[in-house]
Amino acid sequence: MIDILSYGFFFLTMALTYGIVCLGLNVQWGQTGLFNVGIAGFVAVGAYVSSLLTTPESASHLGGFGLPIAVGWVGAALATALVTFLIGALTIRLRADYLAIATFGAAVSIQLCVLNFQPVTGGPFGVGFIPRPFAALAGRPFLFGAANLALIAAVVAVLYLALERLAQSPWGRALKAIREDETAAQALGKSAVAFRLQAFALGGAIMGLAGAAQAHFIGFIAPDNYQPTLTFQVWAMLIVGGSGNNRGAILGSVVVWGIWALSAALISAVVPADQQARAASLQIVTIGVALCAILLWRPRGLIGEARVGARHLLRPAAPRKAPTPSGEN
């Protein structure tokens, strides 16, 4: 029983770290319409920055600097925001399809850099001994798992509240207007480039934070963790959950991570040991099939974007009969 619960904690913690990445993507895509296909690269930057900042001194990579975990996480978010901002400054004026190619290229370059700058990143051997939150509890797996889950859940909750506030703020409104009609928004003084760049960097910062959280939860990172598969998973999570909706982003990450974990378990149970490495690609197929199924069943995801937000501030001026047009969706 304790075992199952412990696994549940582990599973949910992992899923929620993906939930953080997914919240970042929702700022970029769901709210702003920026087609980022380089998620894995931004997550990697966060993971490495935090790891190098917090690990004990080591000969196999730069640092480590032995700083507190919190410093690592903040550093990860800031560094990733900076990297995202720079990439965005070069590419955000591009058409959506070029932005996709540019971010994909950036992610591949980041992964190659991480793999090859061995003196800084540890190269293919990665970075180990990343301090884990609540390490003092490590002897008691149940408590340790619960504490970690609570921490990540708290991070998700805080981010969720902050992003909801932003979505309903004048900032969020300007982003939405730009997404709906850029020409009209510009004529009303909303600089499309400036707002897009802000959203891109903010989303990047959140992805970097997620990378850091994941790295510290697992305790070890290597370049292989940051393949395009990660980007694909996060996109699947957002689409399944409902693009444009922060709760959808979180729900989608739990559901898709669940499918991922289940299919892994199934493969290891059914496929003979010598074929398992190959069969692992079936996991991606499973996600793809699940994606199609959900899109057919609910095209806007499990919880889609609220079309016209019932903003708390926007109650009707005076009581009136609501003239709901019958053709409305």
Partner 1 sequence: MTPSASLAPAAAGQPAAGADPALSAVGVTMAFGGMRAVDEMSLSLGRGEMVALIGPNGAGKTTMFNLVAGSLRPTSGRILIGSADVTGEGPTRRIRRGVGRTFQIPRPFAEMSVLENVLVGAQSQTGEGIWANFLAPRRVAAEERAAIEKARALLEFVTLSHLELEPARVLSGGQRKLLELARVLMADPDVLLLDEPAAGVNPALLDLLIDRIVALNGAGKTILLIEHNMDMVARLCSRAVVMAAGRLLAEGTPDAVAADPAVIAAYLGDAP
Contact residues for partner 1 (CB under 8 A)? 162, 165-166, 169-171, 173-174, 176-177, 180-181, 183-191, 198, 202, 307-309, 311, 313-314, 316-317, 320, 322-323, 325, 328
Q: Is the CB of 2 or the CB of 308 nearer to partner 1?
A: 308
CB of 284: closest distance to partner 1 in angstroms? 33
CB of 314: closest distance to partner 1 in angstroms? 6
CB of 28 closer than 8 Å to CB of 225: no
Q: Is the CB of 26 or the CB of 286 nearer to partner 1?
A: 26
Q: How far is CA 239 from CA 12, 22, 77, 86, 223, in A?
A: 19, 10, 24, 27, 26
With 0-12 / 13-18 / 19 or more C-beta atoms within 10 angstroms meaning exposed / middle / buried, residue 121 is buried
- The b-or-e profile of 169-187 (16+ CB within 10 A means b, else e) is eebbebbbbbbeeeeebee
CB of 289: closest distance to partner 1 in angstroms? 30
Residues β-bridged to residue 81 = none
Q: Is the CB of 27 or the CB of 240 nearer to partner 1?
A: 27
d(CA 179, CA 117): 39
CB of 192: closest distance to partner 1 in angstroms? 8
Q: Is the CB of 201 or the CB of 291 nearer to partner 1?
A: 201
CB of 184: closest distance to partner 1 in angstroms? 4
CB of 18: closest distance to partner 1 in angstroms? 24
Q: How far is CA 244 from CA 32, 194, 314, 320, in A?
A: 9, 20, 20, 30
CB of 272: closest distance to partner 1 in angstroms? 52
Which parts of the chain fold into alpha helices (H)? 2-25, 39-54, 69-91, 96-116, 118-121, 141-167, 170-180, 182-187, 192-218, 228-241, 246-270, 276-279, 281-297
Q: How far is CA 28 from CA 5, 192, 198, in A?
A: 35, 13, 9
Q: Is the CB of 114 or the CB of 205 nearer to partner 1?
A: 205
Q: Is the CB of 96 or the CB of 313 nearer to partner 1?
A: 313
Q: Is the CB of 49 or the CB of 199 nearer to partner 1?
A: 199
